[in-house]
Amino acid sequence: MGELLPLMLQGAWVTLQITFWASLLAIACAVLGALGRLSPFAPLRWFSITYIEVFRGTSLLVQLFWLYFVLPMPPFHVELSAFSVAVLGLGLHIGAYGAEVMRGAIRSVAPGQYEASLALNMTPLTRFRRIILPQALLAAIPPGTNLLIELLKNTSLVSLITLSDLAFRARQLDQATFMTLEIFGLTLVLYFLMAQAINLAMRLVERRLGRGRIKGGLA
């Protein structure tokens, strides 16, 4: 079993890299998608709705295949590396779900907060950055944590576009050694540890934002 662990850890490292970069993209897409849905400008609002509904309403596996196998073909001629496709596909897919979470979180901010910021003559950008966004992020963290863990688990699909992630390594080693119980048992443990790392990181972020909100309220 000792000789299998380094290969499994290599796959886990690929999974972590994909999860990290796709999470950043998903968070950006969630915030921008939510703002687009709430925008008074109809074209921007409909663009955001289209993005959200297309990526929520279609299979992630098909999206990955489309980005990896269809985009290089005419008339697109856009060729991306497997790693880029994994980050783009997972980030856009989870970001579409996150946009609805963020939209609800932004709407949950008390109307009095908006009124107070207007009374202080804050610009819309300052109001959003200093008042609305911190409170919305705090409200969005619990469901957002679930989405990030879901993103981690969905990385198992990227093995189908030739990436040697943890799931790919597990199947590869299983076919070579037939140590099915040991290999997939270790795979479960590694996914669980990575999920708990995400959970811990998001709790720390939640605590930090919550502390800042309390200080802001006291100030």
Q: Which residue has the tokens 């703002």?
A: 35
Share of the chain above pLDDT 70, in %: 95
> How confident is the model at residue 2, as a pLDDT?
65
Per residue in 112-125, pLDDT tens?
Answer: 877 888 888 888 78
May I ask the CATH architecture of the domain 15-218? Orthogonal Bundle (1.10)
State the average pLDDT over residues 5-18. 94
For the stretch 127-170, pLDDT in tens is 888 888 888 989 999 999 999 999 999 999 999 998 999 999 99
Residue in the structure block whose two tokens are 């040697």: 164
**pLDDT, averaged across the chain:** 90
What predicted TM-score, i.e. pTM, was given to this entire model? 0.90
pLDDT reported for residue 213: 59
pLDDT for 192 beyond 50: yes
| pLDDT(196) > 70 | yes
Q: 157 near 61, Cβ under 8 Å?
A: yes
DSSP codes joined into one string, the chain: -TTTHHHHHHHHHHHHHHHHHHHHHHHHHHHHHHHHHH-S-HHHHHHHHHHHHHHHHS-HHHHHHIIIIITTSTTT-----HHHHHHHHHHHHHHHHHHHHHHHHHHTS-HHHHHHHHHTT--HHHHIIIIIHHHHHHHHHHHHHHHHHHHHHHGGGGGGGT---HHHHHHHHHHHH--HHHHHHHHHHHHHHHHHHHHHHHHHHHHHHHHHHHHHHH-
- CA distances (Å), 105 to each of 9, 22, 197, in order? 37, 21, 24
Q: Residue ranges of the domains in the chain?
A: 15-218
Specify the pLDDT at position 210: 80
pLDDT for 58-114, tens place per residue? 999 999 999 999 999 998 999 999 999 999 999 999 999 999 999 999 998 888 877
